[in-house]
Amino acid sequence: MLDDLCGLGGWEWLIIDTQQIGDRLTLTGSLTIHGDDRSLTRQATGTEDIDCSSYGDPSSNAEAMALRRCCAKFGLGRDLWRKEKPQPLKMGQRQQQEKQPVLTPGTISREEWLKRKAGKA
- CATH number of the domain residue 38 falls in: 3.30.160
Q: Is residue 10 one of the residues assigned to a domain?
A: yes
Three-class secondary structure assignment of the chain: CHHHHHCCCCEEEEEEEEEEECCEEEEEEEEEEECCCCEEEEEEEEEEECCCCCCCCHHHHHHHHHHHHHHHHHCCCHHHHCCCCCCCCCCCHHHHHCCCCCCCCCCCCHHHHHHHHHCCC
Domain coverage including residue 13: 2-81
pTM as predicted: 0.64
How many domains does the structure of the chain reveal?
1
Q: Is residue 86 one of the residues assigned to a domain?
A: no
Q: Is residue 9 one of the residues assigned to a domain?
A: yes
Q: Is residue 97 one of the residues assigned to a domain?
A: no
pLDDT tens string 85-119: 667 767 655 555 556 667 777 777 778 888 888 88
Q: Is residue 7 one of the residues assigned to a domain?
A: yes
pLDDT tens string 4-13: 888 889 999 9
Q: Is residue 55 one of the residues assigned to a domain?
A: yes
Q: Is residue 21 one of the residues assigned to a domain?
A: yes
